[in-house]
Structure 1
């Protein structure tokens, strides 16, 4: 028995290490390829321009305004300068992205396994043959809620991307300022992670008839991840807009979620809740799909390599 427990513990440790390494690889590749579009999306979401005065403006004036929102001080400069401006704080962004993806893609399976050990009967009774899908969705929600711990890292990243990071950041005694918008971050992360993992699991069952998700091929992981990422990004867009504006506000002039909601509803209109959604769906959805697919596909290969060591 002790030998069996030791073998099980070793296998679990290798599985966790494989997921962490797969998540790191996915996070690094995601950052290098997709960070510029994430920056554009954040700048569009942070902008409270109503554009109402541009209805009769020329196309050039509209393009100039869009140029200034997306590229800030690099607007109107050469395209090389504009592109470079979309990589603000790259070193910090790398630390944040790798930490975030390791937490998400390596942490959610651990929570799912815990739910399966402790509450499998409850899930089976409540969801029947969709029990495994429900476990993945609930594990995603739990993991997403815990992601609020990374909110200071996210806040600094957003401030850098929206050019607010040039002002002094709070000292160690005032780090609570970087937790502004925590309620909206929890709502966004819990809803988004639950949707991502839940729809991905549902896709593998509905589209490919898989019961053991670890057997999914690269193509199957890609298709299920793509559908899940598009749906999750769309669902959480209103939460993301409010959260981003709270984080992008200067530290000495904070904005509350209630004030932002009031401004959007009264001044900007309902569709402002989905501002920045188009670039996110065009590239950010493939970004999440890419990272999720890489993490899931690389994981079995890394696990096999670790088991041979």
Structure 2
């Protein structure tokens, strides 16, 4: 009797796994994101990771490290779900388009970039609210107040301020992340146990998160600068389009300024990338056991 062909898990399983992973990651690493944003918005000499932590806690209290948590927490479920669901969709699409049966490095990189571009359209309003709340000079009462003031002063489309820079940030991060995951997995020993599989996923996710962060940090710095400044009618913003803004920051503050906030960012996204992949794969494994054959 021939073995029943295996089927990929349904979209809802990939969506749920990404959502659970995203919420787990942000609850663990959010204070690093606040410090990262503060460092990116400052045009002065950086205090460093520890100095920035100390300054925030001393001057504003420990609770400030969780300022703006609600928007990204609300965002993380759909954001991460879209990330992994889009990666799954684009991976299958490109495999069929290029007539390949197995993923390779080129298709993995292309898939990651496409997933990042897809994800960027979902995250912009949430990122905008988060950045406005994380700013040291923020006077907003909370997320709803941010939305009300932006819509009143800048119109509904003001909620998509920074769309172009967010597109590039997510495209390059996802390309580096998913591209590295494929390569690192291929280099690691073939896992023989479930524990070894989870370890390989964590290691490859950490490396992917580190590389993705190295590639996309300049785009993240620009995005933070663009989204932190409200648009004033008739006044051209200092930071507007991504690549000219990168050149401007490098000219005025030096190349190193494009990597402001890199340390807290990589400390979050390297292990955070590992946590993401670990939780996603673990959750998908639970779905496979629950659904049984013929799912893989």
| Structure (1/2) with the larger helix percentage | 1
1:47 paired to 2:53: no
TM-score scaled by length of structure 1: 0.77
1:171/1:229 CA distance change after superposition, 3 Å: same
1:264/1:142 CA distance change after superposition, 3 Å: same
What value does the CA root-mean-square deviation take over the aligned residues? Answer: 3.2
Q: Which residue of 1 aligns with 2:143?
A: none
Structure 2, unpaired ranges of 5+: 141-145
1:17/1:46 CA distance change after superposition, 3 Å: same
Matches within 5 A, 1:207-286: 207-208=188-189, 217-252=197-232, 254-257=237-240, 260-261=245-246, 263-286=248-271
1:30 paired to 2:25: yes
1:147 paired to 2:119: yes
Structure 1 contact 156–165 (Cα < 8 Å) conserved: no
1:260/1:68 CA distance change after superposition, 3 Å: farther
Structure 1, unpaired ranges of 5+: 52-61
Structure 2 contact 218–246 (Cα < 8 Å) conserved: no
Q: Which residue of 2 aligns with 1:157?
A: 130
1:292 paired to 2:271: no
Q: Which residue of 1 aligns with 2:88?
A: 109
Structure 2: distance between partners of 1:69 and 1:178: 32
- Rg larger in structure: 1
Deviations 1:178-224 (A, max 9, x none): 323322222221111111101101111122358xxx99710010111
TM-score scaled by length of structure 2: 0.80
Structure 1 contact 18–303 (Cα < 8 Å) conserved: no
1:178 paired to 2:163: no
Secondary structure (helix, strand or coil) at the match of 1:49 reads coil
